[in-house]
Structure 1
Amino acid sequence: MPAPILIVTGTNPDDRVLAGRVIAAENNWPFIDIEALTGTLAECLLGEATGDSGNRTSLTYKNVVLPAQVAAAGDAAWAQAEAGVPGAVIVSPQRPDTDWVNDLNEGFQGLGAEASFVHVLSDGEQRPALDPEHFVVRTPTTAEDLFAAATLIAVEVAQD
Structure 2
Amino acid sequence: MSEFTHINEQGQAHMVDVTEKVATEREARAEAIIKMAPDTLAMIMNGEHHKGDVFATARIAGIMAAKKTSDLIPLCHPLMLTKVTVDLIPEPEHSQVRIQSLCKLAGQTGVEMEALTAASTAALTIYDMCKAVQKDMLIEGVRLLEKKGGKSGHFKV
Q: Do they fold alike, i.e. is TM over 0.5?
A: no
Larger strand proportion of the pair: 2
TM-score scaled to structure 1, two decimals? 0.29
Which is helix-richer, 1 or 2?
A: 1
* Superposition TM-score, scaled by structure 2 size: 0.30
